[in-house]
Structure 1
Amino acid sequence: MAAEALLAALDGEQRSLASRPFADEAARRWIEYRPRARPGVCIADLDRTARKATYRLLATALSPAAYAQAMAIIALEEVLDRKESWTRGRHSNDYWVTVFGEPGRDTPWGWRFEGHHISVTMTVVDGVVSPAPIFLGANPHRVGYAGGTVLRPLAAEEDLARALLEAMARPDRLAAIVADEAPEDIHTATHRSAGKPLEPRGVAASRLGPGARAALDRLVTLYLDRLPPELAGREYARIASGEQWFAWEGPTRPGGRHYYRVQGEDLLIEYDNTTDDGNHSHTVLRRPHGDFGGDVLSTHRATDHA
């Protein structure tokens, strides 16, 4: 098991930093995608074996495509450091890993890999994996040369949403655009709960024509496909029967500061590109009822008490 292999690769002090009780709710229910202090052990302090074990653990939570996005985001820390004239000491090893509980036991456990613009949390209860939140961001969102693109890790997240707007009939597009200006950040930010549905909800999927509905399905699938196939398939089956809503905030012209979200009963996707003149993006896949394993923990406790 990747989590056990990671813990075995750590020395005593590193393991004490990386290991937290599952009951430590303050540390476990946590999402922080800014360059801030955070729980865990920093991979900058790990040897090659432990660092590789950390990345192997991260790879268990992501599809090959999403893992490539994560690696590009990590590399962008060095690009951003240069862009900022090396003033903030950013570096591609400023990522942290934490394991909650004891992997491989019958009791609940989980882990998180996190740093600037990445936060991936997995919770395992009774052998069932609950995969959320998953945050990926990019600063810069796009690196260009001579009018072309050198690197744009979150390209599809922007392009598919724009294609959805283009596929909508005019009345549906007007309903979807709920604000003329984009927010400063994703609305749920670093809140430990995704909370109640965001309002206004925008346009309902059931109202869309076939082309726009297919475009919305492609957008949702993109986010679910951040997960390995077995998890992505289960998550899609879970949300497919419920209503979904799409909302856009800000101008629709390319290059402007913009934001969108997709939400359902237990689904929240948020995207923003609202700072650095629309060249700094955030994306997150959350589950209002299932973040940090809330769904599987509720089932476990009900069964255990029964």
Structure 2
Amino acid sequence: MNPAQRMTDAATAWLDRLDGEQRAAAQFPWPSEEERRRWYYTPTDHGGLALAGMRAAQQSLAMQLLAAGMSRAGFVTASTIIGLENVLDQADGWNVGWERERGRDPQLYWLRVFGEPGMDRPWSWRFGGHHVSVQHLILDGTVQAGTPCFLGADPAESPLLGGHLLRPLGAAEDLARDLVRSLDDAQAGRAVISPAAPVDIVGGNRSEIRDGDRLIPLPDVWRGEFRDPRLRERLAAAHDEAERKAGFGPEHHEAVALTTVPKGVPGADLTASQQEMLRALLDVFIGRIPEELAEREAAKFAGDRIGGVHFAWAGGVERGQPHYYRLQGPRLLAEYDNTQRDVNHVHTVWRDPGGDFGADVLARHLAAAHVPPAW
């Protein structure tokens, strides 16, 4: 069974188990473009029906849809991240509210379907909550888009029994550090774009990436306005303090701003062994989706095409130092950041700047059908 069929069957099974009130929150008509292109990675309302509003059997069906949209490793990683909400609640002293009854809550992950699931019509779905955002577009019986795809971890590493560490996104850190350390002086001179790291991914939760985009202040990566202005003030102060601790000033904002022409060292200027390191790092991002879809994405960078992927780094290269990197190339923007909570809070995102949310394939589909857009 192909991924589109698995998603269609899982979404249909979930929707069929909902009552009328639940379904009204869970399903929006197609295309609901403004809402469909909203996405978040903060502990805010992501839109849809939350796990907390489902019965146990319904929760299981919701997680089956999430699993249908991820690889086995991706689903395990996402499930671990959701479980970390309990650990984070303890780290916060059990008292961070975020204007909801429990600030860190593994039940506050939302699922929403746009349109009617089927192999003969366009539809999409989105699963999201703190540090997880997964979405897919199905069109003509094929999964046409799976970005933006966000995974984060707070804490990035936690103690396990026996002296082991839980690091859900450890490979994204270790492989990149190995690559940047392997660079010679000339390569590093191009790859390191700033001595200080931004305190978040630069693209933030924008629906569309544009040339010149800069870091979004933390209070703005939320749905709507806070009822209590003190919460916004606290978030703004936390953002400013994080930048101060990272030594990140106005000149660094300019250095790490997103540009259409990629910054960093191109894969074409790397040695064969370094290109393999770059490819392994890229696989950490695209490998989070189902294997068949990940293979399709990997083929875009097979052989000499890895030469078009640029690697850019900001911050220190030693463990425990704030750091950030991005991979950018044709139809690719992958970002990683680890600066917050004393460098123990990771954000990662994989995007297709030309086709996030399937914007490109939907435009071609409408043009071919001579149908004016409904949005």
TM-score, shorter chain, exceeding 0.5:
yes
Which one has a larger percent strand, Structure 1 or Structure 2? 1
Partner of 1:9: 17
Aligned to 1:136: 151
SS in structure 2 at match of 1:276: helix
- The match for 1:161 is 176
Aligned partner of 1:119 in structure 2 is 133
1:177 pairs with 2:185: no
Alignment-mate amino acid for residue 267 of structure 1: L
8 Å CA contact 1:257–1:273 kept in 2: the answer is yes
Aligned twin of 1:92: 106
The CA RMSD over aligned residues, in Å, is 1.7
Moved more, 151-160 or 139-148: 139-148
Corresponding residue number in structure 1 for 2:118: 104
1:94-115 per-residue CA deviation (whole Å, 9 max, x = no partner) reads 1000000110153310000000
Q: How does 1:173-212 map to 2 (within 5 A)?
A: 173-196=188-211, 198-199=258-259, 201-212=263-274
Q: Give the letter aligned to residue 115 of structure 1.
A: G
Unmatched tracts of structure 2, length 5 or more: 1-8, 97-101, 213-257
Q: How many corresponding residue pairs?
A: 306
2:315 counterpart residue number: 250
Measured against aligned partners, the alpha-carbon deviations of 1:53-110 in whole angstroms (never above 9, x if no partner) come to 0000000111111111001100000000011111022111110000001101533100
Quickly say closer, same or farther: Cα 1:145–1:108, change in 2 above 3 A.
Answer: closer
Name 1:227's counterpart in structure 2: 289
Aligned to 1:23: 31
Task: Give the partner amino acid of 2:322.
Answer: R
Contact 1:126/1:300, CA 8 A, preserved across alignment: no
2:194–2:313 Cα contact (<8 Å) kept: yes
1:218 is matched with 280
| Native 8 Å contact 2:69 2:290 kept in 1 | yes
What TM-score do you get using the length of structure 2 for normalisation? 0.78
- Deviation digits for residues 166-186 of structure 1, max 9, x if unmatched? 222221122101001111210
2:64 is aligned, of 56, 65, 77, to 56
Question: Which whole-Å CA distance do the structure 2 matches of 1:64 and 1:232 have between them?
Answer: 12
CA distance in 2, matches of 1:229, 1:156: 18
Amino acid at match of 2:116: E
The Cα offsets for residues 26-64 of structure 1, whole Å up to 9 and x where unpaired, read as: 210011000112310011110111100000000011111
Name stretches of at least 5 consecutive residues in structure 1 with no aligned partner: none
Over 3 Å counting, the alpha-carbon distance change for 1:145 and 1:48 in structure 2 is closer
Which residue in the other structure is 1:47 paired with?
Answer: 55
Q: Once the 2 structures are TM-superposed, how far is the Cα of residue 229 of structure 1 from its aligned partner?
A: 1.3
Equivalent residues of 1:184, 1:274 under 8 A apart = yes
Larger helix fraction of residues: 2
Percent identity (aligned): 43
Q: Retained in 1: the 8 A contact 2:338–2:345? A: yes
